[in-house]
Amino acid sequence: MSYRQLPLHDHQIPASPIVLGCMRFGGDWDGAPITEDLVVEGHQAVEAALEIGINHFDLADIYTRGKAEHVFGRILSERNGLREQIIIQSKCGIRLVGDDEGPQRYDTSGAHIIKSVDGILSRLGTEYLDILLLHRPDPLAHPQEIGEALSKLHQAGKVRNFGVSNMGSEQIRLLQMHSRMPFIVNQLEMSLDKIGFVEAGVTVNRAQAKENVFPYGTMEYCQAERIQLQAWGPLAQGRFTGRAIEGQRPEIEATAELVARIAKERGVTSEAIVLAWLMKHPAGIQPVIGSIRPERILACRDAAQVELTRYEWYELYSSSCGRRM
């Protein structure tokens, strides 16, 4: 697996082209305690990731209501030297449950960001995060307040780099105006099923543009500003890699068959083809695979080595959107 140099500050660990998303670590999203079986399950997922060269791990303070970070913290404590060999990013900015201050909501107030990071570091048992992402756009966000909070976290050595998730170019631009630290990551939903990131460009001045919700210009802005684009949900919940797809739109079934055919011709897994389609984009998209199953993680092994032709890429794109270019 080839590595790329993210614009990371303070150290220069090359990042793997695929990230392991740890949303499923820790079991269900309930108050049940963390069992040893769940810790073992996490160890097995991390081992599979390391085996295929993944050194970049994605978490969030809300994942399984904090249990994902607790489990990952156990893994770090039980694998000597692992922390220094990997890139850990986590996210904050969503309050899952209501409290005395209000309902479930987004919260990027400075106080909440700082408190969230302290909680993240405590659960992980580490002194710093390589990257902190703001999880969702907050309509009540104060950019200057956010910038001041991020500066405090960086100066305290708690967070080395910053990014965002699910934001368009103008939202990032506004935040960047008030932050001394550059935003180096933007994580968005992109896959062979969620093709809005392509449609936003190719449907300009066409009727189909009205149906697309992906923020126009975001791909180009991130490329121009050297912001690493990451794709959450890149395997489309298995729709093209063996999951039962009865009742799905016809394009899903046709595209799944096409993925299987190309995978057979290339001698790789369907997962490798689905990820390679994303990774061919000139933005250098970094897929964040969300499986905890070792066999599913291992199935992604060859994605970075598959170089789809333009014909194959457009064939897959046309199949997914259900029309010719």
Average pLDDT over residues 161-189: 96
SS3 209: helix
Condensed to tens digits (0 to 9), the pLDDT of residues 236-259 reads 999 999 887 777 888 999 999 999
Q: How confident is the model at residue 285 (pLDDT cuts 50, 70, 90)?
A: very high
Which of 97, 87, 188, 177 minimizes the C-alpha distance to 135? Answer: 188
Per-residue pLDDT at 98 exceeds 90: no
Phi, psi of 88 (to 5 degrees): -115, 125
Per-residue pLDDT at 184 exceeds 60: yes
How many CB atoms within 10 Å of residue 244?
A: 8
**Contacts for 230 with CB less than 8 Å, ≥ 6 apart:** 19, 58, 185, 186, 187, 188, 285, 286, 287, 288
Condensed to tens digits (0 to 9), the pLDDT of residues 102-113 reads 678 999 999 999
Active-site residues, by number, are 63
What's the pLDDT at 292? 97
Condensed to tens digits (0 to 9), the pLDDT of residues 46-80 reads 999 999 999 999 999 999 999 999 999 999 999 99
Widest Cα–Cα separation across the chain: 58
Q: Look at 34-38, 40-44, 120-124, 216-220 and tell me which has the smallest mean pLDDT.
A: 216-220
What's the pLDDT at 324? 76
> Mean pLDDT of all residues in the chain?
92
What's the pLDDT at 5? 62
Q: How confident is the model at residue 209 (pLDDT cuts 50, 70, 90)?
A: low
CATH fold of 19-321: TIM Barrel (3.20.20)
> DSSP readout, 152-182?
HHHHTTSBS-EEEES--HHHHHHHHHT-SSP
What's the pLDDT at 201? 80
What's the pLDDT at 160? 96
Per-residue pLDDT at 213 exceeds 80: no
Average pLDDT over residues 271-283: 97
Please, are residues 162 and 193 in contact by the beta-carbon 8 Å criterion? no
Please, are residues 301 and 271 in contact by the beta-carbon 8 Å criterion? no
Q: Write down the domain spans for the chain.
A: 19-321
